[in-house]
């Protein structure tokens, strides 16, 4: 989908106009717990419809959540979306929905840290085994890791700290040969990676990132393309009481209207900043999926329609991790903090922040940069100052 097609869609989806009546441009925030029914028959009929986006009880979702779910399903190209309390809850809820005691899960070594922790503690306690795999694994090696009990192959492409782009279609083929589900954390790929065209069964978004876009809301989404998967997912969500607040969902709906133009601008600026860094003598490698140094770049070229604005920078070994931290702390336009996807630029030192057990990440002192809407010259001037601090701290 081109940027202008995306902008056209984002202006329309999830607005829920009332039938022909004069109405405000935007829906209002619908808050509520109890739903009142006009008759016993109406109450009974509704209660049988919990797989549909129907108003039954507030904790099962209301009109504001339903509009956001409708919009995300369009962006991801799926059939149904479920919103949950955070991006992390989207990861854990998807895993809990498709795994059971005695089951086995394959997870990339590059996975988002809190997802790994969930696999290593909660899933283990529930009797689910996790095997980590090299994010750049080939089909034959993945096949060798599959067990009769493998229920889920998890993927995250690119890895949010080390940026390996995964061969998702091939992972999906191997998963399906063994009757397992391919669950993808598609937060980086929002709209530039269309998960269901590449064999993904369950796609996860931290809506906290580009969709909310203003660093002021935490929401997650789980999308499926298949009706049977939807019933499995929705059942788990209702049982666990997973919920996203209508106020936060409304903020994400508002953020979506400008997501296309933000992404278009931010991705262009990020590529400029990444290309500039690549020419710097302090820099060993830039881990930007759209640049050839990034592991799995060939899958990016094959499967993605564009890039977003989060990438990594690895410095030469002569710079210490603490000098890189000094550099991060010295930046002013790039704020120092976790998360990404907002309108503002961010920096995060990432040296050794990801536990690896079966594969090596790009070694060396590293930073993760998120490029926001500030002008590129001011971002470059900020980095220029930061690099001076880096050199000084290492001399
Ligand atoms: C941020 C992030 C999450 C978690 O999202 P929250 O809404 O912050 O819980 C999950 N996966 C990836 C890849 C992320 O970057």
**Cα(279) to centroid(ligand 1), Å:** 31
**Cα(114) to centroid(ligand 1), Å:** 9
Q: Which CATH architecture is the domain 3-256 placed in?
A: 3-Layer(aba) Sandwich (3.40)
pLDDT confidence of residue 364:
83
| Among 160, 186, 255, 354, residue to substitute to test ligand 1 (most atoms within 8 Å of Cβ) | 160
**Cα(391) to centroid(ligand 1), Å:** 32
Helix, strand, coil share (%) of the chain residues, nearest 5:
40, 15, 45
User: Which two three-digit tokens encode residue 241?
Assistant: 């009481």
**Cα(350) to centroid(ligand 1), Å:** 15
**Cα(227) to centroid(ligand 1), Å:** 26
Which H or E run includes 117?
helix 113-118
**Cα(181) to centroid(ligand 1), Å:** 21
Pairing of strands 310-315, 335-336: unpaired
| Among 208, 213, 242, residue to substitute to test ligand 1 (most atoms within 8 Å of Cβ) | 208
Give me the tens of pLDDT residue by residue for the chain, a chain 395 residues long: 788 888 999 999 999 876 678 889 999 999 999 999 999 999 888 887 777 767 889 999 999 999 999 999 999 999 999 999 999 999 999 999 999 999 999 999 999 999 999 999 999 999 999 999 999 999 999 999 999 999 999 999 999 899 999 999 999 999 999 999 999 999 999 999 999 999 999 999 999 999 999 999 999 999 999 999 999 999 999 999 999 999 999 999 999 999 999 999 999 999 999 999 999 999 999 999 999 999 999 999 999 999 999 999 999 999 999 999 999 999 999 999 999 999 999 999 998 767 788 888 767 899 999 999 999 999 999 999 999 999 999 88
Question: Rounded to whole angstroms, how far apart are CA atoms 64 and 70?
Answer: 10
- Rounded to the nearest angstrom, the gap between the alpha carbon of residue 334 and the centroid of all alpha carbons in its chain is 21
pLDDT confidence of residue 352:
74
Ligand 1 atom having least distance to the Cα of 188:
13
357: left (phi over 0), alpha (psi -120 to 50) or beta: alpha
| Among 154, 206, 218, residue to substitute to test ligand 1 (most atoms within 8 Å of Cβ) | 206
Ligand 1 atom having least distance to the Cα of 218:
7
pLDDT confidence of residue 300:
98
The residues lining ligand 1, judged by C-beta closer than 6 Å to any ligand atom, are 86-88, 91, 112, 156, 160, 185, 187, 206, 208, 218, 220, 339
| Among 209, 249, 311, 368, residue to substitute to test ligand 1 (most atoms within 8 Å of Cβ) | 209
Sheet containing 283-287: which strands, arranged edge to edge? 283-287, 310-315, 366-370, 346-349, 335-336
**Cα(251) to centroid(ligand 1), Å:** 17
Ligand 1 atom having least distance to the Cα of 160:
13
CB 26 within 8 A of CB 15: yes
Provide φ and ψ at 358, rounded to 5°: -125, -5
pLDDT confidence of residue 53:
67
| Among 92, 112, 183, residue to substitute to test ligand 1 (most atoms within 8 Å of Cβ) | 112
Q: How many helices (H) does the chain have, and how many strands (E)? A: 14, 12
**Cα(370) to centroid(ligand 1), Å:** 14
E strand map for 173-302: 181-185, 202-206, 220-224, 283-287
All CATH 3.40.640.10 domain ranges in the chain, comma separated: 3-256
Ligand 1 atom 6: residue of nearest CA: 87
**Cα(117) to centroid(ligand 1), Å:** 13
**Cα(134) to centroid(ligand 1), Å:** 21
Fold of 259-394: 3.90.1150
All CATH 3.90.1150.10 domain ranges in the chain, comma separated: 259-394
pLDDT confidence of residue 160:
85
**Cα(88) to centroid(ligand 1), Å:** 5
């Amino acid at each position: 989908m081109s940027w202008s097609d995306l902008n056209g869609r984002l202006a329309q989806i999830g607005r829920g106009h009332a039938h022909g009546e004069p109405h405000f441009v935007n829906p209002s925030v619908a808050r509520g717990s109890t739903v009142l029914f006009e008759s016993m028959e109406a109450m009974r009929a509704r209660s049988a419809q919990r797989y549909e986006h129907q108003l039954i009880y507030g904790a099962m979702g209301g009109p504001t959540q339903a509009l956001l779910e409708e919009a995300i399903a369009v962006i991801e190209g799926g059939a149904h979306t479920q919103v949950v309390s955070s991006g992390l809850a989207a990861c854990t809820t998807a895993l809990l929905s498709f795994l059971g005691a005695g089951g086995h899960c394959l997870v990339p070594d590059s996975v988002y840290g809190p997802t790994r922790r969930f696999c290593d503690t909660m899933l283990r306690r529930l009797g689910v085994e996790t095997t980590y795999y090299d994010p750049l694994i080939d089909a034959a090696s993945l096949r060798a890791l599959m067990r009769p009990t493998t229920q889920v192959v998890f993927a995250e492409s690119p890895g949010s700290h080390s940026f390996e782009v995964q061969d998702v279609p091939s992972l999906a083929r191997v998963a399906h040969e063994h009757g397992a589900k391919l669950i993808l954390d598609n937060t980086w790929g929002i709209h530039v990676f269309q998960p269901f065209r590449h064999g993904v069964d369950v796609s996860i978004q931290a809506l906290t990132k580009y969709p909310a876009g203003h660093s002021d809301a935490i929401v997650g989404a789980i999308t499926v393309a298949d009706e049977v998967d939807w019933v499995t997912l929705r059942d788990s969500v209702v049982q666990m009481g997973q919920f996203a607040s209508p106020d936060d969902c409304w903020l994400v709906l508002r953020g979506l209207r400008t997501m296309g133009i933000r992404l278009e601008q931010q991705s262009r600026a990020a590529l400029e900043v990444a290309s500039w860094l690549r020419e710097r003598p302090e820099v060993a490698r830039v881990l930007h999926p759209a640049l050839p140094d990034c592991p799995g770049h060939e899958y990016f070229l094959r499967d993605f329609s564009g890039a977003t604005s989060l990438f990594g920078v690895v410095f030469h070994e002569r710079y210490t991790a603490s000098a890189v931290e000094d550099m991060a702390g010295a930046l002013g336009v790039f704020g120092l903090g976790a998360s990404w996807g907002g309108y503002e630029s961010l920096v995060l030192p990432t040296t050794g922040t990801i536990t690896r057990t079966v594969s090596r990440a790009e070694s060396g002192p590293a930073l993760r940069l998120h490029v926001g809407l500030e002008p590129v010259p001011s971002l470059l001037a900020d980095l220029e100052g930061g690099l001076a601090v880096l050199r000084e701290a290492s001399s």
